[in-house]
Amino acid sequence: MKPFSMKHTIVVALLFTYGCSKFVDVVPDNVAEIEDAFETRNNAERFLATLYGYLPRFASINNPALLGGDEVLVQANRTEYWAARRMALGAQSAGNTLLNFWSGGNGGRNLFIALRDCNIFLENVSVPFDITDEEIDLWTGEALFLKAFYHFYLMRMYGPIPIIKENIPIEADVNEVRVSRDSVDDVVRYIIDLLDQAIELLPDGIENEVRDLGKPTKEIALAFKSRVLVTAASPLFNGNTDYSDFVDQEGNHLMNQTYDPNKWVMAAEACREAIETAHKNGRKLFEFVPRGSESFSERTIKKLSIRGAVSSEWLFNDELIWGSSASPVTLLQNWAQGRLPNNIQVENRQSVQGWWAPTMRIAEMFYSENGVPLKEDTSYNYEDRFNVSTVGPEHIHYVVEGYETANLHLNREPRFYASIGFDGGVWEGHGINNDKDGSGLFIRAKFLETAGLLDVNSFSLSGFFAKKLVNYRNVQATNVNSYARITYPFPLFRLADLYLLYAEALNESQGPQAAYPWIDLVRKRAGLEGVVDAWSNYSNKPSKPSTKDGLREIIHHERLIELVFEGHRFWDLRRWKKALTVASGTARGWNIQGRTTESFYTVVDNGIFYFQLKNYFWPIAERDIVRNPNLIQNPFW
């Protein structure tokens, strides 16, 4: 590593700071602070810890992928000032940038400061007199990984960004400070170079799980590399002619204009290597195993296997490759939890909010029990889905027998029942350890019922609940105002995600035959037949999986189902260039003001999702363009 140098530790903030009258922001104020920061290994380790502090809060309202798309609604009394919800309504503008991760503001943090600090660390990690060579290598690997992550996070939001290879010295002139945007291909190459360097230095696994869980390893870096390359190979970034006029000052394209199929080959190879490493480290798809006195039906065990892949504690979840323990998952669970105990006292209802409301399009997205889309299933009466039936015993453990509910809630795949809470739907766990006789708690979502509209704040706008996000052992007390929660890390990368990325890359690079095994692994855990058999036996498009185009559509659909509520749909629809047609339109749900079965099961409009071509990338704030004219604004803003 480079030795300590005053020249490279006085840092220019590259016009991405708030100061209106300055071209530069000199950080820190004097060299002595840098000398102190790297005087000892303990000080250097504390500096390294601050680099992790810039990681976004993935389970919070400031993660655009959770509430900024078309997956979930929260009623307006709560979200009036939430930047992500305003983004979903089309309120983003260059004059008022929401979730601004470029220069900071409106729920976003300036990630160029994170990159600056990564560079400071990398330039000085070898300075402490008492640091070992092994620590230098390990900490360098961590900083390189974080530097790659922050570049990718910005690229995914803004497209072409300035590559921050090193910090600008204080004596630089104005032209050096006024940086330009690098092309997406150059940014991707730089990210991959950083990751390749990090992979050589990072450990195979975590030795001290209590202290280091969540820090990058070879396995995590390889998985992240696969995501970067799949993203770069996708239509948004690979031959996107919508951006044919997006050029720099010299006329060079900032977005490549020619589709490159080799990008999918590279992505598939990265996925393969990541999967092999994950398997060597004992990663496998999560399968629920009852604990202690628990005795559940096979259907419930299947639901808890699907749900547990997300909401299980890290040490019990062999599927989790990388998760964020710093995010407030406790709050997210509170918002997703529907009120269950029918005898709960009035003063205790507020211990859960239940306002994280999946939309009707998400409820309809899940397959039928035959593992194909509702519109394609030859045995499913799609036109009858909003009508009501009385539930028979064949639906035990899914819906309460004798209950009147919508046909939409019946004859669905296990992931629907594991992921969505709905009126009449069984909510496994929550203090119930034996359900083989069909007993258990269930959602009552009609007006003034336990999980329904009872006040102006704590209710689901759609009548649906994001059950998948709630650990099955959480319990809302009936006689005290408390909600006992099991915490878990918000999943950033799990094995099913990696399998589906690999299936996608293989289908694009080699064709359907190579991709079948990997998508079928995910479907098998969900209790479904493989794609070829399911479409052949039940779909009105039986040959769909046999073509690249057909299987592409299936893989896309599979990702949207398997990874629902985990922050993937928002980015996937963008990289596939589907957001313009899929992520806009009316947000629908059940009529939560309905007191009767007939009135509740009426589909109503709850607002809109607004997406335009320009929304594929964030705008750069006007004030930043004024400060640095070399920062060309994103198209259509």
pLDDT digits 0-9 by tens, 262-294: 999 999 999 999 999 999 999 999 999 999 999
Quickly state the pLDDT bin for 312 (edges 50, 70, 90).
very high
Percent of the chain with pLDDT over 90: 84
Predicted confidence band at 334 (pLDDT cuts at 50, 70, 90)? very high
Structure tokens at 40: 């000892």
Q: Which residue, chain included where needed, has tokens 């709560």?
A: 78
Q: What is the pLDDT at residue 173?
A: 73
Say if residue 21's pLDDT is above 70.
no
- 219 touches 204 (CB < 8 A): yes
Q: What is residue 570's predicted lDDT score, i.e. its pLDDT?
A: 98
Q: Which residue in the block uniquely carries the two structure tokens 């803003």?
A: 637
Backbone conformation region of residue 605, classed left if phi is above 0, alpha if psi is from -120 to 50, else beta: beta
Answer for the pair 297, 397: CB distance below 8 angstroms, yes or no. yes
Per-residue pLDDT, 7: 29
The whole-number pLDDT of residue 22 equals 31
Q: Are 141 and 198 in contact (CB under 8 A)?
A: yes
Range 126-131 average pLDDT: 96
Q: Could you count the other beta carbons within 10 Å of the beta carbon of residue 259?
A: 13
> What is the 8-class DSSP label of residue 247?
B
**Residues 609-616: what's their mean pLDDT?**
96
Q: Which residue has the tokens 């896309």?
A: 556
Q: What is the reported pLDDT for 372?
A: 98
Structure tokens at 72: 């979930």
For the chain, the residue count is 637
Closest CA to 120 of 188, 202, 50, 200: 50
Q: Tell whether the model's pLDDT for residue 344 goes beyond 90.
A: no
Reported as a single tens digit per residue, the pLDDT across 23-81 is 223 344 444 578 889 999 999 999 999 999 999 999 999 999 999 999 999 999 889 89
The secondary element (H helix, E strand) that includes residue 415 is: helix 414-419
Question: Residue 467: is its pLDDT beyond 80?
Answer: yes
CA distance 367 to 165: 46
What rounded mean pLDDT belongs to the chain?
92
The number of beta carbons lying within 10 Å of the beta carbon of residue 409 is 25
Backbone φ and ψ for 390, nearest 5 degrees, come out as -90, 130
Give the model's pLDDT for residue 25. Answer: 32
- pLDDT at res. 18: 32
C-alpha span between 282 and 107 (Å, rounded): 37
Q: DSSP label at 337?
A: P
Inform me whether the pLDDT recorded for 348 exceeds 90.
Answer: no
Q: Give me the residues paired with residue 491 across strands.
A: 323
pLDDT at 32: 57
pLDDT at 4 over 50: no
Region for residue 376 given its phi and psi (left: phi exceeds 0; alpha: psi -120 to 50; beta: otherwise) = alpha
Q: Are 54 and 145 in contact (CB under 8 A)?
A: no
Q: Are 185 and 137 in contact (CB under 8 A)?
A: no
Over the stretch 439-456, which tens digit does the pLDDT of each residue have? 789 999 999 999 999 988
Residue 145's pLDDT band, with cuts at 50, 70 and 90, is very high
Q: DSSP states of 137-206 as a string?
A: HHHHHHHHHHHHHHHHHHHHHHSS----SSPPPTT--HHHHS--PPPHHHHHHHHHHHHHHHHHHS-SS-
Among 62-76, 316-330, 411-425, 531-545, which stretch is predicted with the lowest mean pLDDT?
A: 316-330
As a whole-number percent, the residues of the chain with pLDDT over 70 amount to 94
* Nearest residue to 370 via CA among 534, 221, 233: 534
Round to whole Å and give the CA distance between 257 and 250: 16
Residue 34 confidence (pLDDT): 85
Lowest-pLDDT range of 211-215, 228-232, 452-456? 211-215
Q: Which amino acid is at 105?
A: G
Stretch 427-439: mean pLDDT, rounded? 90
Mean per-residue pLDDT for 320-336?
Answer: 89
Q: Give the span between the Cα atoms of 583 and 566, in whole angstroms.
A: 16
Terminal-residue alpha carbon distance, the chain:
41
The four Cα atoms 15, 18, 23, 29 give a dihedral, to 10 degrees, of: -100
